Structure 1
């Protein structure tokens, strides 16, 4: 979990041993004020959640995916 000076929190969840799903790419979900982008790669599942606008979270999710894929 990360947070900035204003208290905005961003959480990255990682799960090992995830079986690949039929659909690849990013998927979006929301629950109240919290938005989530999730995806899976190479046996791991990832979910990035925050109470921020969907577009801003999508940009962060793409950045996280690139950095995680690079190792």
Structure 2
């Protein structure tokens, strides 16, 4: 798999979101939902401690649940 600069920018944002989660006492996971054209549609980080035990950003984004 080859990553372009746009891919790397989105991956860096995932890392930043994971750092936010970790700083908030959650596990370090971040997710960014991106359209085929590269537009960010939604983003969030893990909130299993600060919101609810089942809040995982990849599931929330896939289900269309809003970010908190």
TM-score bucket of the superposed structures, by smaller chain:
0.3 to 0.5
Length-normalised TM-score, structure 2: 0.35
Bigger relative CO (Cα 8 Å, ≥ 6 apart): 1
Greater share of strand: 1
Length-normalised TM-score, structure 1: 0.34
